[in-house]
Amino acid sequence: MSWMLLIVAVVIIACILCNQFTNRFGIPTLLAFIVLGMLFGSDGLLKIPFDNYAFAETICSAALILIMFYGGFGTNWNQARPTAVPAVLMSTLGVVLTAVLTGVFCYFVLGFPLWEGLLVGSLLGSTDAASVFSILRSKQLNLKYNTASLLEVESGSNDPFAYMMTMITLTVLQSGRATGPELAVMIVRQLAFGLLFGAVIGLAASKFINRFQFHTRGFDSAFVLATAVLSYAAPSVLSGNGYLSAYLAGLILGNRPLPNKRSMVNFIDGITGLMQMLIFFLLGLLSFPSALPAIIPTALLIFLFLTFAARPVATTLLLTPLRKPLNQQLLISWAGLRGAASIVFAIMVSTSGTAFQNDLFHIVFTVVLLSISLQGSFLAPVSRKLRMIDNDENVMRTFNDYADESAINFVRMTITADHDWAWKPLSQLSIGPDLLIAMVLRGGNTLVPHGNTVLQPDDVVILGAASFCDDSHISLWETTIDQKHPWKDRELRNLTLDRGQLIVLIRRGPGETIIPNGKTTIREGDVLVINRDTTLM
């Protein structure tokens, strides 16, 4: 027992150190976890014997639930909504097209049995949210056309569809036949129960958290964790798609105003990060590097076809009718990284008791290694080569856990002719002890203020203060005003807000920030920042 705990501690510390190393040298983090597992495994340096596929399936499936839940929970829907149509097309029809094209390639070129080839295509049909999120964050890829949000929604929501296709093809292989009605019932049941339970559990959990008072600190985060597990288990009992339900519940819950939300996000982010370490390390531990040379030619051909044919064809067919720019299509095609879900599904297939002509686990494992190492490593250079970098964007805003790192907040205030501070030196102003005038902008010049500085009309004063950290009951959330929003073209004083809510800021157009008053008119495209005190709701 002590030796086992020692190994677990060493593995976690080694994964954390690998994370620091990979961020410094630009290597995809998750690749390092896999390689570390291979070094610890039967063919590695430490020779730890491990070939228990059933145990690995249980652990990895549980970890995958949290990863998919957080894929939805961490996605900012306000940022992602404009990309919803192309993202959903890519995560549904895109998975089907990619899987079918890959399966046909395996059948005609590599000599796989037809349904076994389609099974390989299904296993590799989806992109990996953990890999995509990791690279977008670590590389700070600020992409044009809201592409980061599109990739996040696609990679977070396409695993359930790949899982459904995997189960369908595996069922056909096991039964030896497939009838239209049986497949239709399976598809409807998977989608219907997955969508229904995900929506109901996500909405119910958000209402519960807002109305129930957690007297023990941290229990709200534990409740969210239990919600993730429930959202998967409930539909799965009825043969529904638990992964789809978990993602949808996370998406709904993560985009609702919640008390103490920042600490929840930090807790779930930490747990999910640990799950990613565990799942990739365990997959590396389960593999046998000595078995890879025999399947490398097959895996390499599948990877090349998947990367340069199947994924680009699917992307072109789905995004060209939506008039997406060519450079965006090329980047989305390249960003189709395969990851943990594909290998976990391959483990499920390996433990199904079905006999296959090929070593599907190691083929999928090798394709994932190639995808993460090559596509992941070159995602940033390819983005720059395609001129998809937008320095005015901030990719971190596409995640729900985005927050400024500084402990000091700055606000701007314009001095008008009738302002109480106009024509007064700073030494005569009544300013609280916790507030500091950090800068004065005057006629295009920047002044470093001192006590004798006299404020003039049209001066822009930059004030600094310590950030407010006691956010247990107050949360800031954003809403975007679209053409059909009931607040469009209305003044703030004519709105009916819930008790405890206040619109504190409006972002309008590039670089324009408005501190609103009662006469401020809300326009289409405005982003409203709303302060909500949950103790008054």
d(CA 265, CA 157): 19
Rounded distance between C-alpha atoms, residue 208 and residue 189, angstroms: 28
Q: Coil, strand, or helix at residue 369?
A: helix
- In terms of DSSP bridges, do strands 408-414 and 445-447 run parallel, antiparallel, or are they unpaired? unpaired
Helix (H, G, I), strand (E, B) or coil at 460: strand
- Please tell me if the domain spanning 408-466 has the same topology as the one spanning 473-537: yes
Q: What are the extents of the domains in the chain?
A: 2-45+52-398, 408-466, 473-537
The enclosing H or E element of 189 equals helix 180-211
C-alpha distance from residue 284 to each of 40, 42, 70, 464, 480 (Å): 8, 10, 23, 49, 43
Q: Which of 324, 353, 333, 263 is nearest to 97 (CA)?
A: 333
CA distance 165 to 155: 16
Dist. CA 88–CA 461, nearest whole Å: 45
Query: Coil, strand or helix: which one is 462?
Result: strand
* Burial 153-183, CB ≥16 within 10 A → b, else e: bbbbbbbbbbbbbbbbbbbbbeeeeeeeeee
DSSP 334: H
For residue 412, the cross-strand partners are 462
Q: Is 265 helix (H, G, I), strand (E, B) or coil?
A: helix
Question: 0.85 cut: is pTM over it?
Answer: no
Q: Which two tokens stand for residue 89?
A: 């097309």
Answer whether 311's CB lies under 8 Å from 333's CB.
Answer: yes
Q: What is the DSSP letter of 491?
A: B
What CATH code would you report for 2-45+52-398?
Answer: 1.20.1530.20
Residue 418 tokens read as 């009738």
One CATH from 3.40.50.80, 3.30.70.260, 3.40.50.720, 3.30.70.1450 for 473-537: 3.30.70.1450
Residues whose CB is less than 8 angstroms from the CB of residue 225 and which lie 6 or more positions away in sequence, other chains included:
66, 267, 268, 271
Q: In what order do the strands lie in the sheet with 408-414?
A: 408-414, 460-466, 435-442, 445-447
The answer to whether 492 and 529 have CB atoms below 8 angstroms apart is: no
Give 83's DSSP letter.
G
Domain spanning 408-466, CATH class: alpha beta
Could you tell me which of 367, 300, 310 has the C-alpha nearest to residue 334?
A: 310
Q: Where are the alpha helices (DSSP H) in 352-419?
A: 360-370, 377, 379-385
* Tens digits of pLDDT across the chain (537 residues): 566 677 667 767 776 776 666 555 555 666 777 777 887 776 766 667 777 778 888 888 888 888 889 888 877 777 778 888 999 999 999 999 999 999 999 999 999 999 999 999 999 998 887 777 777 776 677 788 888 888 888 888 888 889 989 988 988 888 766 666 777 888 888 899 999 999 999 999 999 988 887 777 778 888 988 999 999 999 999 888 999 999 999 999 888 878 777 777 778 777 877 787 788 788 888 888 878 888 999 999 999 999 999 999 999 999 999 999 999 999 999 988 888 889 889 988 988 888 888 989 999 999 998 998 888 888 888 988 998 887 766 666 666 555 434 445 667 778 888 877 888 888 888 776 667 787 888 887 888 787 788 888 888 888 776 655 544 455 567 788 888 888 889 988 888 887 777 888 888 876 677 778 788 899 988 888 887 665 554
CA angle 421, 426, 428 (to 5 degrees): 80
The token pair that represents 417 in the structure block? 């002719």
CA dist 357 and 348 (Å) reads 17
Cβ atoms of residues 131 and 337 within 8 Å:
yes
Residues 143/77, Cβ–Cβ less than 8 Å:
no
How many Cα atoms occupy the beta-carbon half-sphere of 226 within 13 Å? 11
